[in-house]
Structure 1
Amino acid sequence: MDGVRFGEMQTSELVVSSRANARVKQLRAAFQGHARLSGGMVAIEGDHLLEEAWRSGMVLKTVFVSERRTVPGIVPRGVEVVRLTEEVFGSVVETQSPQGVAALMVPPVRVLADLFEGAGAALILIAAGVQDPGNLGTLVRSAEAFGANGVLTTPGTVSAWNQKALRASVGSLFRVPVVGVTASEVAELEGRGVRLIAAVGAEDSGVVAAREMDFTAVCAVMIGNEGSGLAAEWMEMCDARVTIPCPGPVESLNAAVAGSLLLYEASRQRAVSKVSGS
């Protein structure tokens, strides 16, 4: 087994030097997003994400360290640790300057009901056709920063566990519920009392400026595709349309920027409402 005793839950004295090693192949498949070949595992890389995963209660299955690294002190006892040569480690991970530590973890299972737990009016972000993983990861991070209950992703939206999305979230993906939903499930949100608010890029008839929109009740902000915006099927479902007035000569904002600004405005309004109601 290329020097690694897989049954041992500790660091082996030997170093894996083969790219064909079973654990190496599993890690590579996870980095490439192949759920079946990775056994459903998600790959993470770097000290920060490893620490965030541990701090957030994620289940670590195997930690990989390059031969030049010591095992991070936060790795729990009982977690399998596999040591790789520098060449093998560099062939698996996706960053240009590897930090020498990576891991396989069990992704959390989230369901739609998770977004409605707890007191207060739910605030939800819906990523409808967002294809840039950096944008999605940033939106998840902003959702956590501004107190949203979670993020829903529609068909056509990039996977939240894409490596670029994961890095852009800076660990927020470990804590914020991100749930894939169908168009019918989005339509059924009305039955839960959710007001669907479409983010659009232009001010015309029926569009409300962000500061004038009421975000204090249960609502979901919908952010569309980076190039074409929200598709017709999503616009037809929406109860209101909101825009962010821009004095500068731009047609629209980046999806992640727009979503973050709207979440901030929702957070601001809710804080004011809470103070006023106390």
Structure 2
Amino acid sequence: MAGNNRRVSGKKGARIGSGGKRRRALEGKGPTPPAEMRKGHPKQRAAQARARRAQARSQRRGAGKSASELVVGRNPVVEALREGVPASTLYVQQFIDNDERVREALQLAVERGGIHLMEAPRPELDRMTNGLNHQGLVLQVPPYEYAHPEDLIDAAHDAGEDPLIVALDGVTDPRNLGAVVRSVSAFGGHGVVVPERRAAGMTAGAWKASAGTAARTPVARATNLTRALEAYRKAGLMVVGLAADGEAELGELDVLDGPVAIVVGSEGKGLSRLVGETCDIRVRIPMPGGAESLNAGVAAGIVLYEAARRRA
């Protein structure tokens, strides 16, 4: 019949189709998102309510200042979740382009448990991050719970061991702090002490640099580092300061197998005057290669290795 272009059964010829116009409709839409991310799902409403309550508690504790830290951007968020950085809420932008990093962030948050998933419009995330390029992912890290300097001594005594503690003086790079925490954990130390002011704290960057060891190695915060070191001396610890012009060399030091607090200063300025005067002895690390100084993470690792070797 004229005008009839349908293929007749049993005859050769092209079958009439969509010309590929419906190809998109036939493509898969990826794995089903978790219940907390499905619009209108009861679990999503419950997760959003929990997140709002947690945020309100943080704001009350902060008394007008931020009591938590935000990790911003797809790669930083995924890396933080991979490294086990503590997190309370993962904010995901509404109608976000669902790429591999977004899917991995959601999967890691769900697998870890205890992390609220909250969908938010882009303007809200812009406001939270002060206009940073968040790429639709924001991770809220709760405030770190610091120990008291005396807690580190108590932990050593509870374990039947002589205290091995590292104190940082003027170290402001969180990555250095994380590296020191990692070394303390690796060589059997009992914790790290940092000053309350003008010093690095346990931020997400420090957690990442610690490679997860911050979960089992306490960090204590001292209101006054000099007084904390004096208290350690009264408790029977030898306070050993690292200094390029130290009167003794590390190989000559014979106190590392007993109760000791090792004080490490910043790479540029070294130990402050008051902290240096509080030390029982100042020690230098021999460097035959001619380098003038080492960063705090490397210097602490060398001395901690020597202490672990002697204690073994």
Give the TM-score of the pair, scaled to structure 1: 0.72
* Secondary structure at the counterpart of residue 46 of structure 1: helix
Paired residues for 1:1-278 under 5 Å = 10-11=36-37, 13=39, 35-37=62-64, 40-43=67-70, 46-50=77-81, 52-53=83-84, 60-65=87-92, 67=96, 68=98, 69-70=102-103, 71-72=106-107, 73-76=110-113, 79-84=115-120, 92=129, 100=137, 102-105=139-142, 107-116=144-153, 117=155, 118-181=159-222, 182=224, 183-202=226-245, 207-214=247-254, 215-271=256-312
SS across alignment from 1:125: strand
**Does the 8 A contact of 1:143 with 1:263 survive in 2?**
yes
In terms of mean alpha carbon deviation, does 98-107 or 137-146 score higher? 98-107
Specify the code of the residue in structure 1 equivalent to 2:116: E
Residues 132 and 197 from structure 1, CA distance in 2 versus in 1: closer, same or farther, beyond 3 angstroms?
same
Following TM superposition, by how much is the alpha carbon of 1:89 offset from its aligned partner in structure 2, in angstroms? Answer: 5.8
Residue 156 of structure 1: how far off its partner (Å): 4.2
What SS class does the counterpart of residue 202 from structure 1 fall into?
A: coil
User: What is the aligned-residue identity percentage?
Assistant: 27
Tell me by how many angstroms 1:238 deviates: 1.0
Give distance in 1, aligned partners of 2:237 and 2:136: 43
Aligned position for 1:4: none
In structure 2, relative to structure 1, the CA distance for the partners of 1:153 and 1:81 (3 Å cut) is same
Would the aligned equivalents of 1:198 and 1:238 in 2 still touch at CA under 8 Å? yes
Give the AA of the match of 1:119. G
The number of equivalent residue pairs is 243
Alpha-carbon spacing, 1:157–1:217, altered in 2? closer, same or farther (3 Å)? farther
State the distance in 2 between where 1:46 and 1:145 align: 26
- Gaps spanning 5+ residues in structure 1: where? 1-8, 16-21, 272-278
Aligned-partner Cα distance in 2 for 1:169–1:96: 26
2:297 counterpart letter in structure 1? A
**Larger-gyration structure (1/2):** 2
Displacement after TM superposition at 1:267 (Å) = 1.5
Report the 3-state secondary structure (helix = DSSP H, G, I; strand = E; otherwise coil) of the residue aligned with 1:249.
coil
Whole-Å Cα distance in 2 between the matches of residues 173 and 95 of structure 1?
28
| 1:10-40 deviation line (CA, Å, top 9, x unaligned) | 445279xxxxxx96xx69x99xxx9545663
Give CA-to-partner distance per residue, 1:213-249, whole Å, 9 cap, x none.
1311010100112221111211111111211101112
Cα contact 2:168–2:263 (8 A) shared by 1: yes
Q: What is the TM-score when the length of structure 2 is the normalising length?
A: 0.65
Distance 1:223 1:199 in 2: 6
Amino acid paired to 1:191: K
Structure 2 residues without counterparts, runs of 5 or longer? 1-34, 45-50
What is the identity, as a one-letter code, of the residue corresponding to 1:135?
Answer: N
Cα deviation for residue 154 of structure 1 reads 2.2
2:310 is paired with a residue whose SS is helix
What is the aligned-residue RMSD (CA, Å)? 3.6
Note the C-alpha offset of 1:121.
Answer: 0.7
Q: Secondary structure at the match of 2:88?
A: strand
Separation in 2, partners of 1:121, 1:96: 48
Question: Relative to 1, partners in 2 of residues 1:148 and 1:247: Cα closer, same or farther, differing over 3 Å?
Answer: same
Q: Quick one: structure 1 residues 130 and 47, their matched pair in 2 at CA, closer, same or farther if it must change by over 3 Å?
A: same
Q: Quick one: distance in 1 between partners of 2:132 and 2:111?
A: 22
What SS does the corresponding residue of 1:121 show, helix, strand or coil? coil
**Retained in 2: the 8 A contact 1:201–1:253?**
no
Secondary structure at the aligned position of 1:167 is classed as: helix
Aligned pair in 2 of structure 1 residues 36, 104: CA closer, same or farther (>3 Å)?
farther
CA displacement 1:191-216 (0-9 Å, x = unmatched): 2111100101135xxx2222221311
Partner amino acid, structure 2, of 1:212: E
